[in-house]
Amino acid sequence: MKTRVVRVTDWTSPVPPVYREVRAATPEAPEGKPPLLFVPGFGHGAWVFAEHWLEHAASRAFPAHAVSLRGHGGSGPAPKATLRAYAHDVVQVAASLPRQAVLVGHGAGALVVAHALARYPARAGVLVAPVFGGWGTLGAALRRNPVGTLPAVFGGALRLNHRQLFSRELPDAAARDYASRLGRASSRAQWQLLRHRAPEPAVGNPPLLVLGSPDDRVVPPAALTRAAGRYGAAPLLFPGMGHDMMLDARWREPIDAILDWLDKDL
């Protein structure tokens, strides 16, 4: 697909501003590494990265930030938000950072990042357990969690349960606690996850890394391979982990792999 330069929608219906929650961890001794911007998936807020990944990245000298998409976490309400508004949130925060940022999207946040990459030349893109949507995703979700998924089909909230999100290695209490803190994306955005135009091509030719788990119960292995294939790569796999890799018991392994890749490739 070609990059289109006549962008009437961008010009004539700008996304309205909103208060955006940004959590950050800064390295003690900055070494000039690029800032990271973590983008949570639907229902998740910036807090999911503030649990472990932000501090860990900062301890490895990466300035680390996480944004809550509008309507999520501590950001302002946005019951009618679209995928475009979410991508706008990501680009706004990225452009406000002092240096060109690496965008890291998780779950449906990876799709948001893919859209943001078409509007901001990121230093690199990282897609973690990407949910690129489509009817297959719905099928898998219905099979695993019909009670939590069915209402979403009729505009209600998509409720992911802790067994979909975490491996059994994470103590049950922690898993239930995390799951209880989840919110929801707007109904429009939920629908767009099923039916949306493919993201426009990334600008600035950033290197891309895709990672996930073969045991993810939200993203079937085939969907993971397909998402990685869009970027001409094979996914980096972390067997045994659940979908929410940044909260799961072995959260350290994927973030270290991401930071190693950035240290090596940038």
Partner 1 sequence: MSTFSDQESHESSATLWRDGRPVYDRGGTVCVIGAGASGLTAIKNLKEYGFGADCYERETGVGGAWNWRHDRSPVYASTHLISSKPLTEYPDFPMPDNWPDYPHHSQLLSYLEQYADHFDLRPHIWFGTEVVRVEPADGDRWDVTTRSTGGYGAERTSRYAAVVVANGHNWSPKLPAYEGLDEFRGQVIHASAYKDATQLRGKRVLVVGAGNTGCDIAVEAGQQAARCWHSTRRGYWYAPKYAFGRPADQVGDAAGAYRLPLRVRQWMFHQMLKLTVGDLTRFGLPRPDHKVFETHPIVNSHLVHSIGHGSITPVPDVARFRRNSVTLVDGQEVEPDLVVLATGYLPRFEFLAPEVLGIDTSGRPALYLNAFPRRHPTLAVAGLLQPDSGLFPIVHWQTVAIARWLRLRENAPDRARAFTARVDAEAGTRWHSAKVKESTRHWFEIGHIDYLRALQRTLDELEVPA
Minimum distance from CB of 95 to partner 1 (Å)?
5
Query: CA-to-CA distance for 47 and 44, rounded, in angstroms?
Result: 8
Which residues, including other chains, have CB under 8 Å from residue 134's CB and lie 6 or more apart? Answer: 194, 223
3-state secondary structure of 223: helix
Pick between residue 35 and residue 235 the one whose CB is nearest to partner 1. Answer: 35
Cβ-based nearer residue to partner 1, 80 or 99:
99
Listed residue (130, 133, 118, 125) closest to 201, CA to CA = 118
- Rounded to a whole number of angstroms, the minimum distance from the CB of residue 118 to partner 1 is 9
- Nearest approach in angstroms of CB 250 to partner 1 is 35
Of the pair 194, 233, the CB lying nearest partner 1 is at 233
Closest contact distance (angstroms) between CB of 14 and partner 1 is 5
Closest CB to partner 1 among 44 and 119? 119
180 vs 205, beta carbon nearer partner 1: 205
The answer to whether 87 and 15 are in contact (CB under 8 A) is: no
Output the smallest distance, CB 159 to partner 1, in A: 31
Q: Which residue ranges make up the site for partner 1 (CB under 8 A)? A: 2-8, 10-17, 88, 91-92, 95-100, 119-121, 203-205
Long-range contacts of 256-265 (CB under 8 A, 24+ apart): 256/56, 257/211, 258/104, 258/126, 258/128, 258/209, 258/211, 259/57, 259/60, 259/62, 261/126, 261/209, 262/33, 262/34, 262/62, 262/102, 262/124, 263/33, 265/124, 265/207
